[in-house]
Structure 1
Amino acid sequence: MGSKAIIMAALTASVAAMPGTRAAADFADGLVGGLVGGAVSGIIVNESAKARERKRTTTTTTRRVYRAPSVSSQQVREEQTALNYFGFPAGTPDGIRGRNTRNAISQFQAHMGYPVSGHLQDYERQFLISSYYRAQSGGAATAQIAAQSGQGTRGLLHAYRDEALGMQQQGQGGMMALAPQDEQTQAGSASGSESDGGALPNLMASGGDGPSLASHCNQVSLVTSSNGGFVTAASMQDARFALNEQFCIARTYAIAEGESMAASLQGITPEKLEEQCRAFGPAMREHVAALSLDKRSAVLDGVRGFVRQTGQSPAQLAGTARICLSVGYRIDNMNVALGSGLLLAALGEDAYGELMGHHLNEGFGTARRTELAKEWFAAAVEAVENGAEPVFAPGDPGRNALLRKAVFGADAGVQGEAVQPASTLPTFDVD
């Protein structure tokens, strides 16, 4: 207990002492000194060491051995938490999809007008989870929408759906953009606490100021629902929309994986994790900005140099990056998410490079640079083809072929045409 208290005291002190507007080089020094590596990765290492020490110590006390939940159980727990929040009682979030959870899912489906089955379709789950995280990060706006709806938190779901379906359309048959970034996003578009003092151009949207990826995925999910399910390689007509679906699937898997890992950490709250992971934004600012400017090889060379400065082992940094990737997507902070994804790619996990391809293809956290996106997509697809374990939707054997066809097949590139949902929905312009 004494060592744990010392660790947490040091952690708290390091966070409290960190200036909010320190330059990127200072944040890199903080990493070397143990801010991110010592706070998140250090906890992983310390907990592992303490577990080994406990194993060597003879004791007559009965101990409960903690096992981190599997990704699937963590996903169910996430569903249960979201269902409870929106007023569909699923019971205690235990990761087991029992009768209460199925009843809650049926109530949710009836509320949204989906076919009632008690089992979430992928697009239904995506809308439920992304809406929950949007509500959690909405602050006073969330409370205001809930109050105005007359249905409490359940009304948020209809509000988010209605917003995506046409509250912003321009008259009958109008077009609503899924991604407002264009190919020539200006360097000065980012603002806020993370846009000051940088020597290099900052072409990325800052955490809360740029377009919301969570809202984007809500809209994509609604079109997926109207189309009757996800696009496959055989059914694909719009390459860009197919990539948008896979982008949102990858985001969901990244959130679930990181939260599963974070659940095994002892002595650190989700709030502290978020606080620590936010340091990735300014620490990786230079490398995230380089995504919009440089080829993949040059970006990765820069990140590898950064990795060497941290003094952390690859295993520590990879664990930290997975957790902070989850946090970045959960709080809709693209700097944190991109910085984490870049670290994983630089550590040799090429399959994570798919994320950089998606961000560059749509302009979330970067300028929209479709020609640079192809390099990242190609490396990720080829890695899986050469035997690397898929990290997103590993149970879908056709996903890699879909990505390849959407990016490179039949001269479609990654441009695509406008989304063509069912006639009951407005057309979404993705250009």
Structure 2
Amino acid sequence: MFIKQFTMACAAAAVMSVPAMTPAKADSGDFAAGIVAGVIGSAVVRNANKPKRTVRRSTRSTRAAKPRISSAQRAENREVQTALNYFGFPSGSPDGVFGKKTRAAVSNYQVHLGYAATGQLTSYEKDFLLQSYRRALAGGPTTTQQIAANPLGPRGLLNTYRDQAAGVVTAAAPTVQAAPSTTTVVALQPQVLPLQGGTTTTTTTTVSGTGAAATTGAALPNFLGTTEVASLASHCNQVSLITSTNGGFTTEANIVDASFALNEQFCLARTYAIAEGEQLVASVQGFTPQQIEQQCAGFGPAMAPHVAALSVKPSDQVSADVGKFVLNSGMAPAQLAGTAKICLSVGYRTDNMDVAIGSALILSVLGEQAYGELMGHHLAQGFGVTKRADLSTAWYEMGLNAVEQGATPVFNPGDPQRSALIRKAVFSGTSQSQIGTQPLVQPAGAALPTFSIQN
């Protein structure tokens, strides 16, 4: 302590001994450096002489305890996740833990069956899901055929099981078996039969006979005002079963029945259209799937005159009329195209041909001419319009030319030979049946739905 006081006294004396007459130079670097060094040095000295204090801080990490799941519960959760994946609701790897992906899959499952999308399974919803999964596995090859025949794929099984549990009887797709050469089977085709008063009705007739070809007689009058309309969904189920029996789709090399080859491609295009629309629905904000379906159903009457005109007007005239409709809609082309793709999916899924064909017409007018193929199929097969094979060729040409000239294929893009197959089937010289006409329908006014699609 004495040494420290002596040192400080000497330093003070040295400072006082500097003559007062010697002014300090403001620009002296040594002076400035000395002041800075002195301040820093004194601070260092003071800190060095202070007694050291050791501060100990205790850190305690708190982790939220994860709820313990019993092994039985985890096993059930894994089965739920596996079942969701099986029916087309991706829940990720079945690890027995319900995270965001599993909750989202549960919500999609609930929406598909019309339940509230809570992300939490009720006891009934869980039991129905697991029982359906076990039933599907037990079905073996039968289940595989049911999935292949249903346009919704594995999800369609849930609808079938639900309807059966509710006591709803659904008509099974007919199985086509080889018949003796003396038996003639007339396939399901819409027939336009005149009724008294000059009106027409579309019926579906199945006729079988032995020996000579069976002929159809006049249909009995129906005074209850109900008619049976040919179902494209049922037709495609039948086509799918025959395709699976034949070992796969017809190719350009092995084509024998041109009409059946076109039927296969028609139903394949329908499946792709449904899938594309469902993907777009997932990006629509502010609408539930049920609301979208209702909006598209209201769109049908607005397009019904243009759909009916397909059977009586050439393709260029129909396109011109639809073009005027598009201009008067007041919607941006991109917005209208997205809406039309969604409604095309809804129309095919619900078997509403006015909605489906009307949507395809709009897309073809908006520059996506590959969709012209659909009008060709409808006119060639008679679904939703009067059968007009002669008018169908121009629409087939529109779709085929668009793809062959570089447009992106919208149906089965992975098959580069598809256009050649359709062209060969369409222009193979098959006979055309006599064509009738269908009166134009005057619908009530209907507003075009609008959906905002988020990319």
Instruction: Judge same fold: TM > 0.5, yes or no.
Output: yes
Q: How does 1:57-96 map to 2 (within 5 A)?
A: 90=85, 93-95=88-90
Residue of 127, 141, 148 corresponding to 2:150: 127
Q: Deviations over 1:99-125 (max 9, x none)?
A: 89xx999975873636x9xxx79x953
Q: Deviations over 1:253-279 (max 9, x none)?
A: 000001100101122111110111012
In the alignment, the residues of structure 2 paired with residue 261 and residue 229 of structure 1 have an alpha-carbon distance, to the nearest angstrom, of 29
**Which one scores higher on RCO, CA 8 angstroms, separation ≥ 6?**
1
Residue of 150, 167, 172 corresponding to 1:144: 167
Q: How does 1:275-354 map to 2 (within 5 A)?
A: 275-354=294-373
Q: Deviations over 1:279-326 (max 9, x none)?
A: 221101111110010000000000001111111111111011000000
Displacement, 1:187? Answer: 5.9
In the alignment, the residues of structure 2 paired with residue 234 and residue 248 of structure 1 have an alpha-carbon distance, to the nearest angstrom, of 20
Query: 2:185 maps to what in 1?
Result: 175
The answer on whether the counterparts of 1:257 and 1:322 sit within 8 Å (CA) in structure 2 is yes
Identify if the C-alpha distance between structure 1 residues 313 and 230 changes in structure 2 by more than 3 Å, giving closer, same or farther: same
The percent of aligned pairs where both chains have the same amino acid is 47
The answer on whether the counterparts of 2:372 and 2:399 sit within 8 Å (CA) in structure 1 is yes
Task: Name the larger-Rg structure.
Answer: 2
The answer on whether the counterparts of 1:180 and 1:211 sit within 8 Å (CA) in structure 2 is yes
In the alignment, the residues of structure 1 paired with residue 92 and residue 318 of structure 2 have an alpha-carbon distance, to the nearest angstrom, of 43
The answer on whether the counterparts of 1:183 and 1:369 sit within 8 Å (CA) in structure 2 is no
In the alignment, the residues of structure 2 paired with residue 91 and residue 407 of structure 1 have an alpha-carbon distance, to the nearest angstrom, of 38
Q: Deviations over 1:74-104 (max 9, x none)?
A: xxxxxxxxxx9xxx7745743479789xx99
1:232 aligns with 2:251: yes
Displacement, 1:179? Answer: 2.6
Identify if the C-alpha distance between structure 1 residues 380 and 289 changes in structure 2 by more than 3 Å, giving closer, same or farther: same
In the alignment, the residues of structure 2 paired with residue 347 and residue 184 of structure 1 have an alpha-carbon distance, to the nearest angstrom, of 37
For 2:152, what is the secondary structure of its paired residue? helix
TM-score, normalised to structure 1's length? Answer: 0.59
Q: How does 1:236-251 map to 2 (within 5 A)?
A: 236-251=255-270
Identify if the C-alpha distance between structure 1 residues 90 and 173 changes in structure 2 by more than 3 Å, giving closer, same or farther: farther
In the alignment, the residues of structure 1 paired with residue 426 and residue 194 of structure 2 have an alpha-carbon distance, to the nearest angstrom, of 20
For 1:144, what is the secondary structure of its paired residue? coil
In the alignment, structure 1 segments of 5+ residues that lack a partner are 1-83, 147-155, 192-207, 416-431
In the alignment, the residues of structure 1 paired with residue 275 and residue 239 of structure 2 have an alpha-carbon distance, to the nearest angstrom, of 19
Q: Which amino acid aligns with 2:410?
A: V
Count of residue pairs the alignment pairs up: 293
The answer on whether the counterparts of 1:328 and 1:336 sit within 8 Å (CA) in structure 2 is yes
Identify if the C-alpha distance between structure 1 residues 160 and 265 changes in structure 2 by more than 3 Å, giving closer, same or farther: same
Q: Deviations over 1:10-45 (max 9, x none)?
A: xxxxxxxxxxxxxxxxxxxxxxxxxxxxxxxxxxxx
The answer on whether the counterparts of 2:88 and 2:155 sit within 8 Å (CA) in structure 1 is no
Displacement, 1:235? Answer: 0.7
For 2:89, what is the secondary structure of its paired residue? coil
In the alignment, the residues of structure 1 paired with residue 419 and residue 200 of structure 2 have an alpha-carbon distance, to the nearest angstrom, of 36
Query: 1:412 maps to what in 2?
Result: 430
The answer on whether the counterparts of 1:277 and 1:324 sit within 8 Å (CA) in structure 2 is yes
Identify if the C-alpha distance between structure 1 residues 94 and 307 changes in structure 2 by more than 3 Å, giving closer, same or farther: same
1:160 aligns with 2:172: yes
- Over the aligned positions, Cα root-mean-square deviation in angstroms equals 4.2
In the alignment, the residues of structure 2 paired with residue 145 and residue 365 of structure 1 have an alpha-carbon distance, to the nearest angstrom, of 26
Identify if the C-alpha distance between structure 1 residues 314 and 129 changes in structure 2 by more than 3 Å, giving closer, same or farther: same
For 1:160, what is the secondary structure of its paired residue? coil
Identify if the C-alpha distance between structure 1 residues 91 and 129 changes in structure 2 by more than 3 Å, giving closer, same or farther: closer
Query: 2:201 maps to what in 1?
Result: 189
Query: 2:215 maps to what in 1?
Result: none
The answer on whether the counterparts of 1:164 and 1:218 sit within 8 Å (CA) in structure 2 is no
The answer on whether the counterparts of 1:239 and 1:414 sit within 8 Å (CA) in structure 2 is no
Q: Which amino acid aligns with 2:141?
A: G
Q: Which amino acid aligns with 1:188?
A: T
Identify if the C-alpha distance between structure 1 residues 355 and 187 changes in structure 2 by more than 3 Å, giving closer, same or farther: farther
1:366 aligns with 2:389: no
Q: Deviations over 1:37-82 (max 9, x none)?
A: xxxxxxxxxxxxxxxxxxxxxxxxxxxxxxxxxxxxxxxxxxxxxx
For 1:388, what is the secondary structure of its paired residue? coil
Query: 1:202 maps to what in 2?
Result: none
1:111 aligns with 2:130: no
In the alignment, structure 2 segments of 5+ residues that lack a partner are 1-79, 96-129, 204-226, 434-455
Identify if the C-alpha distance between structure 1 residues 214 and 109 changes in structure 2 by more than 3 Å, giving closer, same or farther: farther
The answer on whether the counterparts of 2:274 and 2:348 sit within 8 Å (CA) in structure 1 is yes
Query: 2:239 maps to what in 1?
Result: 220
In the alignment, the residues of structure 2 paired with residue 407 and residue 184 of structure 1 have an alpha-carbon distance, to the nearest angstrom, of 29
Q: Considering fraction of residues, name the structure with more strand.
A: 2
Q: Which amino acid aligns with 1:180?
A: P
Q: Which amino acid aligns with 1:282?
A: P
More displaced 10-residue stretch of structure 1: 137-146 or 299-308: 137-146
The answer on whether the counterparts of 1:214 and 1:332 sit within 8 Å (CA) in structure 2 is yes
In the alignment, the residues of structure 1 paired with residue 298 and residue 419 of structure 2 have an alpha-carbon distance, to the nearest angstrom, of 33
Q: Considering fraction of residues, name the structure with more helix.
A: 1
TM-score, normalised to structure 2's length? Answer: 0.56
For 1:265, what is the secondary structure of its paired residue? coil
In the alignment, the residues of structure 1 paired with residue 393 and residue 270 of structure 2 have an alpha-carbon distance, to the nearest angstrom, of 19
1:261 aligns with 2:280: yes
